[in-house]
Amino acid sequence: MNHQNQNRIFVFGNPDLEMDSLPFKLMPKLAEAFPSMRFELKDPNEEWDVPEEMVVIDAVIDLEKVTIFNDLESFDASPHLSMHDFDALSNLKYLKKLGKLKKITIIGVPVGITEEEAFENITKRIREVVN
pLDDT digits (tens, 9 = 90+) for 30-51: 999 999 999 999 877 677 788 8
Higher-pLDDT residue of 124, 85 = 124
Q: How far apart are CA 97 and CA 33, in angstroms?
A: 34
pLDDT of residue 61: 81
The fold of 3-130 is Rossmann fold (3.40.50)
| Chain center to CA of 131 | 17
Domain ranges of the chain: 3-130
Cα distances (angstroms) measured from residue 35 to each of 32, 129, 130: 5, 16, 13
Confidence label for 28 from pLDDT (cuts 50, 70 and 90): very high
The pTM assigned to this predicted structure is 0.85
